Amino acid sequence: MSDSIESRLKEERRFPPSAEFSKGARVQSHAAYTSMYELSLSDPETFWREETGDLVFRTPWKKVSEWALPHAKFFVGATLNITESCLDRHLGTSARTRAAIVWEGEPGDVRTLTYFELHREVVRLSAALTDLGVKPGDRVAIYMGMVPETAVAMLACARIGATHSVIFGGFSSDALRERINDCGAKVLLTQDGAWRRGNVVPLKKMADEALEKTPSIEKAVVLRRIGQEKCPVEMKQGRDVWWDELVTRTPSENALGLAKKPAAFDAEHPLFILYTSGSTGKPKGVLHTTAGYLVGAHVTTKYVFDLRESDLYWCTADVGWVTGHSYIVYGPLSCGASCMMYEGAPNAPDWGRFWNIIEKHGVTILYTAPTAIRAFIRAGDQWPAKADLSSLRLLGSVGEPINPEAWTWYHRVVGGGRCPIVDTWWQTETGSIMLTTLPGACYSKPGSTGLPLFGVDIEVVKDRGDPCKANEGGKLVIQRPWPSMARTLYNDDARFKDAYWSQMPGVYFTGDGARRDEDGYFWVVGRIDDVLNVAGHRIGTAEIESALVSHPAVAEAAAVGRPDDLKGQALVVFVTLKQGQDPKDLKSKLAEHIDKEIGKFARPDAIRFTDSLPKTRSGKIMRRLLKEVASGAETKGDTSTLEDLSVLAKLRTDEE
């Protein structure tokens, strides 16, 4: 059997940026992009000198990088405090009074923090944490919702050199406990509760359960978001302190001095630990350090989103995920951008919420996930049609491969056919965007993640490491270190080497399957684990899903494999239909559609219709759970991020 992945879908359409958009863009032509990219690989010293010129280094870096794979150092010899690039440097410019964060709560309350106000809040919390005994190198856990104080918490930790670990507010108390204990956090920052679809998520109550067995925690700081009437909490004497009371205390002279003029740290000082799922069930604590991560987030934010002073940029991710770290906090703030932040669900109180926010606040850039886009398609075009979306000038996609049908809908219905779309591929471990199309320089192909960004030496290879031919599917690998790469897994260096660097000598294996077409554009087909071996054909599930969603009746689809004695794996697809569609007689039509789009070898063995797919609160389909449903296996592992447990129960009771 060949070790390549079958890749039969071919998207021929090209969407170039308009001449007007290109004229005002940071990178205005494909030739300019190519020149910058080639320089970043051939002369990284010169390239990164230029691109780090607008960031604040207390001590300039002497050497761009050192590495003894799998370990790397970037901007060697530099010292910095990352918050000076994100906050202090803007205070002497027009950005001082510019909105840093425009926030809307799910109930409709609105707050705006200028760069001056955000800096003030970060200084206050930095001083307070110092007086609580937090020192450089200590770990601080953050278990909060989508409120401005979550960004304040991250920046305050970074300002005093504490390594923050943001733990997604959808995690259970058990998951929170496991992560706190793994990183040995000294302080927990949390809140009484968070709004979600009109209900209160009791974060402090869940934190209390976790803290029963977290010996490293000395203090818990609690933000009042909901209030005692709707979300009563118990405060443990000696451990718990209210956020507002803490930051209004008069700080010690030493703490205030460190907060106002923060210390500078080495380029490789640990900035944050972010936990991501692991194949063994034990979460992986991905460790990012300061200078390289900042540079990656800053440069990609500036160029990929083509930021301008007039923009109101909205990344809809949760700060608990790496997208929120890089593209709500560190990247945009280092660029002096105005960022929209929303607390609640996209369908609270109805499916018009996102579009109403865009109209109300004048959002110009929207960066969201394919799963959200497919949910909007299913809800119906009438929702975006009710709002004035003319302020939008750029759209982005992140999280998983976007199928061409969803891409086209996003471009036509949300972007009005005028907004470039930047589809982005990257990972928690990469720290920043690795593949995309710069919006003023390159045309887009629906479904393709585009071209490599600066400093990213990326290739599609066969199992033995040989390069694949054009349009031949294989494994996506990165062939040299890059600034924002993870440095290791916290307290587990051996696992870091095994997970990412053991497949092929000297290269980082992303875990994804992909192909590269004749134009050099990359097409990521999903996790190699999600590549099915059906009767000798290796088929990317993303391509099965794209083919299904291209049928006019289908809103969303997920393809998984189940064990099969004859084929090795049988293909099972779960399908949600657009409003008004009747599943009667659709099974045979969808099977024929797969035959036509891909080939009979890819015809599903089972097609199951469902009202909903199991998703995390961040919108990702939990295919692991669908595999278990398809094979009749018990549910294993953590389901705490599942948005709605009833979806899983209903799938198990439904007949094929």
pLDDT score for 279: 47
pLDDT score for 449: 95
**Number of domains the chain is built from:** 2
* 240 belongs to a structural domain: yes
Element housing 511 (H / E): strand 508-516
pTM: predicted TM-score of the whole model, two decimal places: 0.87
* 351 belongs to a structural domain: no
* 412 belongs to a structural domain: no
From 257, 276, 302, the end of a domain falls on: 257
Q: What percent of the chain has pLDDT over 90?
A: 74
The pLDDT of 617-639, averaged and rounded, is 74
Phi and psi for 27 in degrees, rounded to 5?
-120, 120
Nearest to 472 by CA among 463, 458, 461: 461
Phi and psi for 80 in degrees, rounded to 5?
-165, 165
Residues 271 and 483 sit within 8 Å (Cβ to Cβ) = no
pLDDT digits (tens, 9 = 90+) for 319-378: 999 999 999 999 999 999 999 999 999 999 999 999 999 999 999 999 999 889 988 998
pLDDT digits (tens, 9 = 90+) for 247-262: 999 999 999 999 999 9
Residues 6 or more apart whose Cβ sits within 8 Å of residue 598: 8, 9, 539, 543, 544, 547
Note every long-range contact of 382-385, with CB atoms under 8 Å and residues 24 or more positions apart, other chains counting: 383/350, 383/351, 383/352, 383/355, 384/352, 384/355, 384/413, 384/414, 385/413
Residues 130 and 251 sit within 8 Å (Cβ to Cβ) = yes
From 234, 257, 280, the end of a domain falls on: 257
Domain that holds residue 203: 113-257
Distance CA 416, CA 406 (A): 14
* 390 belongs to a structural domain: no
* 226 belongs to a structural domain: yes
pLDDT score for 8: 43
C-alpha atoms less than 13 angstroms from C-alpha of 419 in its C-beta half-sphere? 29
Q: How confident is the model at residue 654 (pLDDT cuts 50, 70, 90)?
A: low
Element housing 142 (H / E): strand 139-143
* 14 belongs to a structural domain: no
- Do strands 488-489 and 284-289 pair parallel, antiparallel, or not at all (unpaired)? antiparallel
The CATH number of whichever domain residue 198 belongs to comes to 3.40.50.980
pLDDT digits (tens, 9 = 90+) for 537-557: 667 777 788 889 889 999 989
* 624 belongs to a structural domain: yes
The CATH number of whichever domain residue 576 belongs to comes to 3.30.300.30
Residues 6 or more apart whose Cβ sits within 8 Å of residue 241: 219, 220, 221, 222, 235
Q: Which of 134-148, 418-432, 492-506 has the lowest mean pLDDT?
A: 492-506
From 238, 257, 276, the end of a domain falls on: 257
* 379 belongs to a structural domain: no
pLDDT score for 12: 78
